[in-house]
Amino acid sequence: MLVISSREFRQNQKMYFERADQGEQIIVQRGKNKSYALTPVGEDDLYFNAEMVKRIKESINQIETGKAKKVTTPEEINDLLGL
């Protein structure tokens, strides 16, 4: 993990973006109490990509057709998760 200042990041953005693209974890510190992780965003990271919209519609259909299971107790959650 590499920790850099916001000034260092601004001066060398291209290099840090390339390092993040190669999988290196980069933390940019801003002041004393603020930090940010530089992470590439892929198709799977977007909340409402085409696949996610499809899954949401399938879930709504399952609820409407009664194929969903209502879970209300901690025991039912553990059972559902196989714990």
Q: 46 Cβ partners below 8 Å, 6+ apart?
A: 52
Residue 28 shares a structural domain with residue 55? no
Domain that residue 18 falls in: 2-38
The pLDDT score that the predictor gives to residue 17 is: 97
Closest CA to 23 of 36, 5, 42: 42
Number of domains in the chain: 2
**pLDDT at 48 exceeding the cut of 90:** no
Predicted TM-score (pTM) of the model is 0.55
CATH of the domain at 19: 3.40.1620
